[in-house]
Amino acid sequence: MLEVLDGGWLTTIQDLGRPGYERYGIPVSGAMDFFALRVANGLVGNPPGAAGLEITLVGPVLAATAPCLVAVTGADLTFRVDGREMPMWMSVFVRRGSVISFGGRRRGCRAYLAVAGGIEVPPVLGSRSTYLPGRFGGWEGRALRAGDRLPIGPVSGHLPERAGRRFPPHRLPAYSDCPTVRAVPGPQDDHFPPEGLETFFGAEYRVSPTSDRMGYRLEGPPVARRRAEIISDGVPPGAVQVPPDGQPIVMMADHQTTGGYPKIAMVITADRPLLAQCVPGESRVRFAAVDVAEAQRRYRETMEMLERSWE
C-alpha cells in the first residue's frame, strides 16, 4: 500500500487509457506521456499498461506501508526517498516505512511513478485511468489527496534484487522546453488558405497557462481560415483544432470526442510525449509537417524500441 501524505499539485492514477468508447463520447484518457509510463512500468517488471501515478509539476508525498519497487520517469521533479535524491529512469527499492517525496521542478511537466504490481484500483470500462471532467476512474474519479491509501497488486520474486535496472538515456524522446513537434496536415487542411498552413508550420507558439489534460491552447500568430466551422465530427487525441480566433488547440488525453472546429493537423503519436512535457505558461512549441508514412514509421520505431528494451 502507498499512503498519500500530500497529494501534490495534481496527481492522478493513469494507465494507457480506455480505448473503444469514443462512440459513446468517452475519451481515451490515460497517461499524457505514454512513453514515460511504459518505461516506468518496464523498469519495475509490470506489463506496459499497468496503472501508475501521473504527477504534475509539484510532486506528492507517499509513505510505503510495505516494501516496494518503484521507478520514476518523465519530468524531473527531484525524486527523493527518505529525503535523499534518487535517480530517475531506474528501478529503486523502497523499504517499508520509507517516504517518497519530490523537491523542485527542474524540467518537464509530468513525472510518472510506477510500482511493481501496479496500482490496483477497480477498473472502469476496462481502465484505471482517472477522467477528471467525468469524475470517474482512478481513485474515486479525482486527484489524490492526503489520507488516500493506494492498494498495490501482487508481486513475485525478491524485490531488492530487481532494483538498479536503468533505461538507456540515448533512447529517450527529445524532451525540451521548446520542442519541434511533427504533425500530419489534415484532415481539414483544405479549410485553410496556404498562408494559414504557412503560419501554423512556421511560427512559434507559447503553451497557454489554461492548458490541461483536455487540451493545449497555443498562443501566437493567428492561423487564417477559409471557413469558420465544420459539421461536428470525431476528434482524436493529437488533433489540432483552429477556433475562430485562429489560436490553435491541441487535443490531449481527456479531449472531447467530437467538435466543430476545422482540424489543420494531427500531432504524430510518437511526438505526443514531447507535448505532454510542455509546461503551460512556459514552454514554446513549433510544428513540422510530415506525411502519414513518415508518422507511421516513427510510431513503429518507438514501439519496437520500447519492446526491445525489456528483452
Residues that bind other proteins (CB under 8 A): 19-26, 124-125, 131, 133-134, 136, 183-184, 186-187, 231-234, 236, 238-239, 256-259, 263, 266-270, 292-293, 295-296, 298-300, 303
Q: Per the structure block, which three cell numbers stand in for 106? A: 527542474
CB contact set of 284 (below 8 Å; sequence gap of 6+): 177, 178, 204, 205, 206, 207
Closest approach of other proteins to the CB of residue 187, in Å: 4
CA separation, residue 186 to residues 12, 149, 225, 240, 260 (Å):
32, 45, 13, 9, 14
State which residue, 174 or 292, has the beta carbon closest to other proteins: 292
Is-contact 199 222, C-beta < 8 A?
Answer: yes
State which residue, 102 or 139, has the beta carbon closest to other proteins: 139
Closest approach of other proteins to the CB of residue 88, in Å: 28
State which residue, 44 or 184, has the beta carbon closest to other proteins: 184
Q: In whole angstroms, give the CA distance from residue 223 to residue 188.
A: 13
Closest approach of other proteins to the CB of residue 257, in Å: 5
Closest approach of other proteins to the CB of residue 170, in Å: 23
State which residue, 34 or 93, has the beta carbon closest to other proteins: 34
Rounded to 5 degrees, φ, ψ at 273 are -60, -35
State which residue, 64 or 285, has the beta carbon closest to other proteins: 285
Query: Interhelix angle for 292-308 vs 34-43, to 10°?
Result: 20
State which residue, 51 or 114, has the beta carbon closest to other proteins: 51
**Residue 226 burial (CB count, 10 A):** 11
Closest approach of other proteins to the CB of residue 250, in Å: 12
State which residue, 204 or 233, has the beta carbon closest to other proteins: 233
Closest approach of other proteins to the CB of residue 140, in Å: 13
What DSSP assignment string belongs to 127-175?
B---BGGGTBSTBTTB---TT-EE-B----S-GGGGTT-B--GGGS---
Closest approach of other proteins to the CB of residue 135, in Å: 8
State which residue, 55 or 184, has the beta carbon closest to other proteins: 184
Closest approach of other proteins to the CB of residue 286, in Å: 18
Q: Is the dihedral of CA 119, 122, 126, 131 positive or negative?
A: negative
Q: For the chain, report the end-to-end CA distance as a whole number of angstroms.
A: 29
State which residue, 99 or 125, has the beta carbon closest to other proteins: 125
How many angstroms separate the most distant Cα atoms in the chain? 62
What DSSP assignment string belongs to 174-220?
---SS-EEEEEE-SSGGGS-HHHHHHHHHS-EEEPTT--SSEEEEES
Closest approach of other proteins to the CB of residue 298, in Å: 8
Q: Per the structure block, which three cell numbers stand in for 266? A: 494531427
